């Protein structure tokens, strides 16, 4: 984990103006878990009646707070909920000590908020394998409860950052029957980012009224099209957590409402793109659209094979329209492909078709596209109707600088 890094050149101009979500408040504290001189803990509290759904890393070496959260999903929403997150230490691979640390934080949060402990969701992000000094966190809990504010979501977005170079937020408003339903989300993540979630923490809040089971279904489906379609480095974290809390305070029941589902997915996609744009060392945002595959799974497999290829990612860093490496990545993916029905585009340039370079291809056109900050690669497999789009960034000296630094 490196020190202060320059803001990513792909960062959005500004942090969005996130609206209040009725029934949700936030506070942050400087607990000094690892960093000093910045907030590193955030506590969010949701009103009684809040449904909480979530998705988590599939890693076989999941961190203690992830295992704890997974057990608690689906519980009754009568009592509201609390979310407590620290940055700087992942409390992952910390054995019995890690389980004890989660219990200590959950108990202290439950005690300070008056919530039952099965409604306290925690997450930790940062270094793996070091004991979490949980007393540095718990000592701030009564203060965190006392300072809760409906306006502090931006502070929360900053408090959960690790190697992130900017805080990440997104919002949507859906009008349903003349009434507004609001969604606001924050995320962190910049390395150890791969499908099946990543070193990502994502918290979404909405005043929609929706049952926990339906909310879980929506967020799981949207994750497959958003966070599970991005990759920075193919490495999957032990700590990924996405939670969505629906307070119901708008009084609008969104059950079965497609606009709400689409807006929730739009917030998730925006946050997912912001994570890629903060990819360690990234200088290019890369969109890879794969069409014409035998099915959607094959399309996503090809897309991620291209997106994870070090040779493709370094070629993009070098602004080289090296489509031979795209052919290589499709060939190695394991999903069905036919060399002779492949077509490949860089930007608007048809590069290859019928198993060879296109007769209309002019390298200067593709090379000009590669100089953009937003790179678009499209592949059509010519085999069926399965489509997918994935997003990644380039692989640069910056990634090496950040990750070859000794931890201490």
Residues found near a second copy in the complex (CB under 8 A): 57, 59-62, 90, 92-98, 127-130, 191-192, 194, 196, 233-238, 308-311, 314-315, 317-320, 322-325, 327-333, 336-340, 342, 352, 354-357, 395-397, 399-400, 403-407
Tokens of 228: 């599970």
Distance CA 54, CA 70 (A): 8
Q: Give CA separation, 325 vs 64, 254, 307, 312, 344, in Å.
A: 40, 45, 11, 6, 11
Nearer to a second copy, 102 or 395 (CB): 395
| Smallest distance from a second copy to CB 381, Å | 10
| Smallest distance from a second copy to CB 386, Å | 15
Instruction: Indicate the pairing of strand 201-206 with strand 241-246.
Output: parallel
67 within 8 A of 79, measured Cβ to Cβ? no
Nearer to a second copy, 114 or 331 (CB): 331
Tokens of 211: 């049952």
| Smallest distance from a second copy to CB 214, Å | 30
| Smallest distance from a second copy to CB 64, Å | 10
Nearer to a second copy, 32 or 129 (CB): 129
| Smallest distance from a second copy to CB 42, Å | 23
Q: Is the dihedral of CA 376, 263, 51, 113 positive or negative?
A: positive
Nearer to a second copy, 205 or 361 (CB): 361
Nearer to a second copy, 49 or 324 (CB): 324
Return the number of other C-beta atoms located less than 10 Å from residue 366's C-beta.
21
Burial class (CB in 10 A: 0-12, 13-18, 19+), 51: buried
162, 199, 236, 249: which one is catalytic? 199
Phi, psi of 44 (to 5 degrees): -115, 140
Nearer to a second copy, 2 or 73 (CB): 2
| Smallest distance from a second copy to CB 238, Å | 5
Nearer to a second copy, 18 or 351 (CB): 351
Phi, psi of 363 (to 5 degrees): -55, -35
Nearer to a second copy, 70 or 111 (CB): 70
Distance CA 361, CA 352 (A): 8
What are the residues facing 287 on neighbouring strands?
Answer: 376, 391
| Smallest distance from a second copy to CB 59, Å | 3
199 noted as active-site residue: yes
| Smallest distance from a second copy to CB 315, Å | 7
Distance CA 1, CA 163 (A): 6
Which sequence positions are flagged as catalytic? 199
């Amino acid at each position: 984990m490196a020190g202060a890094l320059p803001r990513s050149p792909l960062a959005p101009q500004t942090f969005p103006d996130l609206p209040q979500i009725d029934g949700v408040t936030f506070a942050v504290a400087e607990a000094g878990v690892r960093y000093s001189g910045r907030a590193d803990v955030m506590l969010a509290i949701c009103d009684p009646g809040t449904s909480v759904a979530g998705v988590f890393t599939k890693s076989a070496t999941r961190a203690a707070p992830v295992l704890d959260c997974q057990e608690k999903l689906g519980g009754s929403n009568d009592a509201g909920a609390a979310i407590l997150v620290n940055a700087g230490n992942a409390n992952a691979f910390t054995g019995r000590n890690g389980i004890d640390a989660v219990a200590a934080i959950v108990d202290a949060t439950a005690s300070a908020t008056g919530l039952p402990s099965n409604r306290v969701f925690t997450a930790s992000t940062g270094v793996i394998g070091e004991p979490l000094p949980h007393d540095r966190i718990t000592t701030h809990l009564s203060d965190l409860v006392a300072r809760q504010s409906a306006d502090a979501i931006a502070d929360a977005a900053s408090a959960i950052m690790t190697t992130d170079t900017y805080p990440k937020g997104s919002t949507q408003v859906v009008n349903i029957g003349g009434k507004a339903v609001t969604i606001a989300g924050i995320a962190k993540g910049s390395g150890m980012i791969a499908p099946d979630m990543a070193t990502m923490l994502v918290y979404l809040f909405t005043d929609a009224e929706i049952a926990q089971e339906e909310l879980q279904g929506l967020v799981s489906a949207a994750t497959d099209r958003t966070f599970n379609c991005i990759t920075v480095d193919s490495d999957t974290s032990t700590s990924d957590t996405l939670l969505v809390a629906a307070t119901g305070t708008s009084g609008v029941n969104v059950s079965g409402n497609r606009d709400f589902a689409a807006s929730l997915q739009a917030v998730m996609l925006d946050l997912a793109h912001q994570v890629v744009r903060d990819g360690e060392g990234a200088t290019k945002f890369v969109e890879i659209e794969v069409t014409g595959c035998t099915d959607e799974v094959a399309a996503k497999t090809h897309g991620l094979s291209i997106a994870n290829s070090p040779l493709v990612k370094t070629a993009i860093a070098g602004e080289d329209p090296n489509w031979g490496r795209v052919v290589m990545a499709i060939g190695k993916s394991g999903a069905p492909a036919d060399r002779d029905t492949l077509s490949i585009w860089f930007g608007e340039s048809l590069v290859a078709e019928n198993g060879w370079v296109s007769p209309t291809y002019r390298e200067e056109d593709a090379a000009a596209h590669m100089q953009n900050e937003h790179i678009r690669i499209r592949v059509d497999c010519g085999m069926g109707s399965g489509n997918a789009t994935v997003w990644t960034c380039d692989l640069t000296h910056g990634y090496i600088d950040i990750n070859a630094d000794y931890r201490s």
